[in-house]
Amino acid sequence: MKGSKAPVTQAIRALRAAKVAFEDHPYTYIDGGGTAQFAREHGVDEYLVVKTLIMEDERGNPMIVLMHGDRQVSTQALARTIGVKRIQPCAPAIADKHSGYQVGGTSPFGTRRAMPVYCESGIAALPRIYINGGKRGYIISLATADALALLKPTLVAMAT
């Protein structure tokens, strides 16, 4: 890790506790800029930047959904795969409550509440991913194998 200005979030604590190597990549957070903002600023293919979404089924059961930055989630495909009627994004305040992070800074690591993790299957084929480190304007990169070993996600074909 570079310098001492990197934040120590719950995600970082969880990665350190699991002895997972990562690099930090601070960037200029712009409301609504999403993964494209980071990709532009760091010259990284947006496909390698993984967004962390907190969604819920029709009964309000929350889940973490990981998707390529330049793709959208087919909630119908995800719902069909996991055997529920409907999946939708959580309202920001609800997502914050489940994850313990502020929307725009949500990390799948070190969430307040344990939730099932569903990962777009194409992500598993990448050698390294960029993903939120638990704070707006803070992305980390790590070996995909390490992320998958820690999160133990269900791999799903759900990209559109």
Query: Cα separation of 97 and 115, whole Å?
Result: 12
Beta-carbon contacts of residue 9 (< 8 Å; ≥ 6 apart): 101, 107, 110, 133, 134, 135, 138
Looking at the domain assignment, is residue 13 inside a domain?
Answer: no
Is the residue at 31 inside a domain? yes
Give, for all 160 residues of the chain, the pLDDT tens digit.
344 477 899 999 999 999 999 999 999 999 989 999 999 999 999 999 999 999 999 999 999 999 999 999 999 999 999 999 999 999 999 999 999 999 999 999 999 999 999 999 999 999 999 999 999 999 999 999 999 999 999 999 999 9
Domain range enclosing 61: 25-156
Residue 7 lies in a domain: no
Q: What pLDDT score was predicted for residue 44?
A: 97
Separation of alpha carbons 92 and 94, rounded Å: 5
Asked whether residue 90 is domain-assigned, the answer is yes
Question: What CATH number corresponds to the domain at position 108?
Answer: 3.90.960.10
Please tell me the pTM assigned to this model. Answer: 0.94
Please report whether residue 59 resides in a domain: yes
Task: State how many domains the chain has.
Answer: 1
